[in-house]
Amino acid sequence: GKCISVCPVDAITAGDNTFKFLRDLSTPNKLVITQMAPAVRVTIGEAFGFEPGDNVENKLAAGLRKLGVDYVFDTTWAADLTIMEEAAELQDRLERYFSGDKSVKLPMLTSCCPAWVKFIEQNYGDMLDVPSSAKSPMQMFATVAKDIWAKEHGMTRDDVTSVAIMPCIAKKYEASRPEFSRGMNYDVDYVITTRELIKIFRDSGIDLKEIEPEEIDYIMGEYTGAGIIFGRTGGVIEAALRTALENMTGKRIDNIEFHSLRGWDGFRACEVEVGDIKLRIGVAHGLEEAGKMLDKIRSGEEFFHAIEIMACIGGCIGGGGQPKVRKNKEEVLRKRGDGLNNIDRDKDHRVSKENPAVQAIYDKYLDHPMSNKAHELLHTKYFVRPKRGHDHINDNDM
Ligand code: SF4
């Protein structure tokens, strides 16, 4: 049925890295670090008797350590870092636009979903300057881990094996893009999906229901509520607006839950008003809807200031590497999303720029968002790619 060119099939050839992971974990003196995407902690529990949406991040941390992982970090930390860059980029484009600069590229499109990035590279080669140039959280995490964290600990890139626990099959392909490597050393050595990790835990006799929870490692484990909502549709743009609008207005925003952006339609056109600023924001999940909207933007029929696009229905909570949902799909996905919203609501810090661990890395290494150093490490480029006829959509039907 659904067949629009989306999920990089080359991703599939990257294959299942379970064996590599287990071998690396059992190799003496090999240092293995993991990051886990926001959306994994509210789904993996389903395989161990938890409800969709239950946050099992601390059990996940314990399970990974039991497998032999040396440092259990969190992609969500880097989601906050992504927001620092993306919000600064959005602010820059908006301020130039509102001051009358007609050369500004709008809407700014989010860039953290690799299936979506590949889709625009294949189908909208004339629009490659509209997505944010910010790397995805997974790739930002991995660059910082190997180029900053490793060095700080007296190690080289080769000394660290960096594994990403992801809800997503397209992330395997993203990790293998040459711009995210130095020679043969990739920033992310490989990706393990939620489903693959479930199998690894089961085969190793690790039951998340039983295991005692443990803390995620500091410093690349500290995150805000804005970072965690990356895992559901609408969350990335909501997170970006929290920081961008506070920076633009110079004031703390009282109500940082942008309910106008939340919802379930395949494409949602929303208005966000803060002070004198009125923004038209789009949110798409599923590439078919995104494609239709991009056509209208290209023809000038529609205008938006920013758009979030996720290839999977529901966003990463519905990713192709997540536990399969056999019935009541929308209800299960909504519960997973609510799980992320609950984590957000419980956090003291809910705006990415308040993350002390993110502030620390700017103070020490990156100066400020969009600095030269930040550009060098945290931003990327896009390339026109030929269309492929038989790529599969990266959702639970895969
Ligand atoms: Fe991967 Fe889907 Fe999330 Fe995109 S929306 S990053 S394809 S899980």
* ipTM of this predicted structure: 0.99
Cα–Cα separations (whole angstroms), residue 376 to 135, 157, 189, 249: 11, 17, 20, 28
Residue 103 Cα to ligand 1 midpoint, Å, equals: 31
Q: pLDDT band at 84, cuts 50/70/90?
A: very high
Atom of ligand 1 nearest to the CA of 285: 5
Could you report the per-residue pLDDT of 101-114, keeping only the tens digit for each?
989 999 999 999 99
Q: In this structure, which residue's CA is closest to atom 3 in ligand 1?
A: 316
pLDDT value at 381 more than 50: yes
Q: State which of 136, 283, 316, 333 you would mutate to test the pocket of ligand 1, scoring each by most atoms of that ligand within 8 A of its C-beta.
A: 316
pLDDT value at 351 more than 80: yes
Weakest-pLDDT range from 82-86, 266-270, 358-362:
266-270
Supply the pLDDT for residue 14: 52
Q: In this structure, which residue's CA is closest to atom 6 in ligand 1?
A: 113
Reduce the DSSP state of residue 88 to 3 states and report it: helix
- Single pTM value for the model: 0.93
Structure tokens of 335? 């519960």
Reduce the DSSP state of residue 120 to 3 states and report it: helix
Atom of ligand 1 nearest to the CA of 115: 7
Find the distance separating the first CA and the last CA of the chain, reported in whole Å.
11
Q: Is 61 in the pocket of ligand 1 (CB under 6 A)?
A: no
For 159, residues 6+ apart whose C-beta sits below 8 A from its C-beta are 31, 150
Beta strands in 37-109 (DSSP E): 71-72, 108-109
d(CA 190, CA 344) in angstroms, rounded, equals: 28
Residue 98 Cα to ligand 1 midpoint, Å, equals: 32
Supply the pLDDT for residue 9: 41
Residue 286 Cα to ligand 1 midpoint, Å, equals: 10
